[in-house]
Structure 1
Amino acid sequence: MKKFKVGCVQATPALFNKSKTMDIVLNWIQKASKQDVQLLVFPESFIPAYPAGLGFGTVVGSRTEAGRDQFREYWENSVEVGADETQKIAKWAKEYEMYITIGITEKDTISKTLYCTLLYFSDKGSLMGKHRKLKPTAAERLVWGEGDGTSLSTFDTSLGKIGGLICWENYMPLARMAMYQKGIEIYVAPTADSRDSWNSSLIHIACEGRCYVIGSNQFIRKSDYPEHLQKELAEDRPEVLSRGGSVIISPLGEVLAGPLYNEEGLLTAEIDHDEIIRAKMDFDVIGHYARNDVFGFDVNSQPDISKD
C-alpha cells in the first residue's frame, strides 16, 4: 500500500486506572476510524499513564512505606501482556481494521517486575509483538526493569516496515541503527518528553533514517491525578506536567502535523512510500551511504524481521 493515513494520539489517560483508560483508548480508536486512519499511535505508558512527578517515596538510600504502596497501586493497574486488556485492543484493531501501537506499563506476573513496553497490533486482530524499553531514564529505573535485544524488531506489514523506540532510547545511536538495519519505514517514537529539543531529535531521526517518524506524547496536569496522589506531587511542579508535543514528520524532515501542545488531539498525515524512495536518493544509512569496510555493527539477540 503506497499511500495511507496515520494517526497520532495526544491524550490524557485515567491515571492509575487501567479500566477507565481502556475506555479512553477505545474512544480514540473510534475517532481515528472516522478519519480513515490505518495506523494509530498512542503515547508511552498510556496504560496506566506515565507517572510524571511521582517519586514513589524514594531518596538515595531510603524508601518509604507510602512509596511502596504507590508502586503496588501502579503495579495493580499495569497490563499483563496476553491478558484481558491486550485481548480487547486486538479485538478493536480487527473491528476497526487498524494497526495500533500503544505504550503500556507491562507487569511480569512471575517476577513482579514492571517494564515500559510498546505493543504492536495488526489490523487482523493479532498482537504482532512488543518492545521493552532498553534503558529507563533516571528515576524511571526504580519503576521499570530493562528490556533486551530480543525486542529490537520491526514488523513487515501491508503498510510497510513498522517499528520504533521509546522516549530517550531514541538518543541511543546504536539502538536507532538497530532499527535502520531492518529497513524501518514507519518509525514510532512514543515519549514523555515535551521539550522543544525533543522534536528537533525526531526531525533528525527522520532525516537520518529516511523514514516517517510519529512522535506521540500524553497531556497530563496535576489535577488529572487521583486526589490521594496529587498530595504526593511536589508543590513547585507546574500544573501542566506534560504539555505534549506530538508530531508526524516526513523522511526529509518536514513536519506534516503538529507539534501539538497543551491540549488533547488527534494528528493525522498521509504516508506515501514513494517519498521514502525519493529521500533515499542521496542518503541511505544502511545502503549506499554505509561503509561496511570501515564499521562493523551487531546487535545481541536481535530477531529477524517479523511478519504480521
Structure 2
Amino acid sequence: MKKRQVHVAVVQAAPTLFDKQVALELIGKRTREAAGQGAELIVFPEVFLPGYPRGLSFGARVGSRTAGGRKDWQRYWDSAIQVPGPETEVLAELAKELEVYVVIGVVEQDQEFSTGTLYNSIIYFGPEGTLLGKHRKLVPTGSERLLWGQGDGSTLTVIDTPFGRIGGLICWENYMPLARTAMYAQGVDIYITPTADARDSWQSTIRHIACEGRCYVLSSNQFATKSTYPADLAYYDDIHEDDDVLSRGGSAIVDPLGEYVVEPLYHEEGILFATLELDKVTQSRFDFDVVGHYSRPDVFQLIVNDQKQAIVRKKHSD
C-alpha cells in the first residue's frame, strides 16, 4: 500500500564552481540537515555538482574559440562526474546512511561513446543506497549547447517509490510540451524541476506544470554569488561587470492545483520543507487528467523514441 504522505526538502544553494569535492561536501551537509528535520525526499538544483557557470563565455564567439576558453572548459570537464562512478558511490552511501531519496543535478562525463561530451543530468538515489536512474537534458539552452550534449528518450526517467512516482525535466526543457506529456504519461506524481532560471516567469511555468499534470512540483534553484567563482579562470572577467548576486534563487513547492505549498525563496540560501499529501494528487485529477479522461487519443498521439542513440552501431554478420 502506498504511503499517502511524504516529507520533502528543496535545497537552494551553490557550491564553489569547478570544485566537485566542495560540491560533494555541501551535498552531504545539506542532506544531513534536511534529513535531520524529517525530509524523506531531498532535491538539489540544476548541475549542482560541480555548479552552473552562469555568465562565462569560455572564450567562444561565433566562428572562433580561444586557448584560454578551452582550458576553462577542460577544468569544467575535470570537475564533472561519471554516472555511475566514484562520486555516485559516495552519494549512494549518503542516501543509504540517512535512509532518504536524493535527487541531484550534475554535470556528467560521457564515458560510453566518447571522452569529449558532457551532459546536464539529474541523478536519483534511493534509501537502500542504489543509483535508481538518471535523466539527461534533451536540449541545452542557448550557449549551454557549447558545454553539454543533447540527451535522448532513453532517460525520460520516472521512478516508483512508496509514496508515488517521481521524475522531472531540467529548466527550459520544461517548455517542451511533448516532453512534459511524456512525463505525465508515466504517471508522475511528484515532478522535479531543477533550474537556473530566477525570473518571475519561471514561477508561472512551475505553477502551470502542477496544474496541467495534476502533480506536486519541486523546483530547486541556485543562490549564487561571485564568491563561488574561482578568480583564476581565464575568463573570470566575463562576470566583472555583473551584480554580486548572479542567481537570486526562486526555489518553490507547488501543489497539484497550482497553488504554492511553499512560496519562492529569493536572495538567500536555504532549504524549503513541506509535507505533501498524495491524496491531493488523486483528488485533483477528478476533473482533469491530462493523459487520462481529458486526453483525446483518437485526435492526438505522441510517439516517444525511448531507445539509446549512438553514432556507431555494430552490425553482426550471420
The question of a shared fold, defined as TM-score above 0.5 by the shorter chain, is answered with: yes
Q: Is the 8 A contact 1:10 1:217 kept in 2?
A: yes
C-alpha distance in 2, partners of 1:259/1:136?
A: 24
C-alpha distance in 1, partners of 2:236/2:211?
A: 43
Counterpart for residue 46 of structure 2 = 44
SS in 2 for 1:8: strand
C-alpha distance in 1, partners of 2:307/2:175?
A: 19
Counterpart for residue 62 of structure 2 = 60
The one-letter amino acid paired with 1:165 is L
**Percent of aligned pairs sharing the same letter:** 51
Counterpart for residue 6 of structure 2 = 4
Counterpart for residue 243 of structure 1 = 248
C-alpha distance in 2, partners of 1:234/1:14?
A: 15
Deviations 1:21-52 (A, max 9, x none): 11100000110111110000000000100110
Uncovered stretches (5+) of structure 2, i.e. residues with no partner: 309-318
Q: 1:186 aligns with which of 185, 190, 193?
A: 190
Q: Is the 8 A contact 1:210 1:279 kept in 2?
A: yes
Counterpart for residue 107 of structure 1 = 109
* Counterparts in 2 of 1:302 and 1:269: CA distance versus 1, 3 Å: farther
Counterpart for residue 265 of structure 1 = 270
* Counterparts in 2 of 1:46 and 1:225: CA distance versus 1, 3 Å: same
TM-score where L is the length of structure 1: 0.96
Structure 1 stretches of at least 4 aligned residues deviating more than 6 Å after TM superposition: none
SS in 2 for 1:63: coil
Pick which of 167-176 and 238-247 moved more.
238-247
1:132-211 alignment to 2 at 5 Å?
Answer: 132-211=136-215
Q: 2:281 aligns with which of 249, 257, 276?
A: 276
Q: 2:84 aligns with which of 82, 85, 105?
A: 82
Q: 1:27 aligns with which of 21, 26, 29?
A: 29
Counterpart for residue 96 of structure 2 = 94
SS in 1 for 2:188: coil
C-alpha distance in 1, partners of 2:239/2:22?
A: 26
* Counterparts in 2 of 1:152 and 1:302: CA distance versus 1, 3 Å: farther
Deviations 1:232-273 (A, max 9, x none): 324332211111100000001110113001110000111111
Q: Is the 8 A contact 2:163 2:278 kept in 1?
A: no
Distance apart, 1:112 and its partner CA: 2.3
Uncovered stretches (5+) of structure 1, i.e. residues with no partner: 304-308
Pick which of 234-243 and 185-194 moved more.
234-243
Pick which of 152-161 and 60-69 moved more.
152-161
The one-letter amino acid paired with 2:198 is S
Counterpart for residue 306 of structure 1 = none
SS in 2 for 1:66: helix
SS in 1 for 2:197: coil
Distance apart, 1:84 and its partner CA: 1.3
C-alpha distance in 2, partners of 1:58/1:275?
A: 48
Q: Is the 8 A contact 1:133 1:166 kept in 2?
A: yes
C-alpha distance in 2, partners of 1:48/1:234?
A: 18
SS in 1 for 2:134: strand
The one-letter amino acid paired with 1:46 is F
Distance apart, 1:4 and its partner CA: 1.4
Q: Is the 8 A contact 2:44 2:220 kept in 1?
A: yes
Distance apart, 1:302 and its partner CA: 6.4
Deviations 1:49-95 (A, max 9, x none): 01101010010001000000000000000111121110011001011
Q: Is the 8 A contact 1:153 1:302 kept in 2?
A: no
Distance apart, 1:301 and its partner CA: 1.4
Deviations 1:218-239 (A, max 9, x none): 1111222111137332433221
Deviations 1:271-292 (A, max 9, x none): 1111001100111001111111
Q: Does residue 292 of structure 2 align to residue 287 of structure 1? A: yes
RMSD: 1.2
Distance apart, 1:157 and its partner CA: 1.3
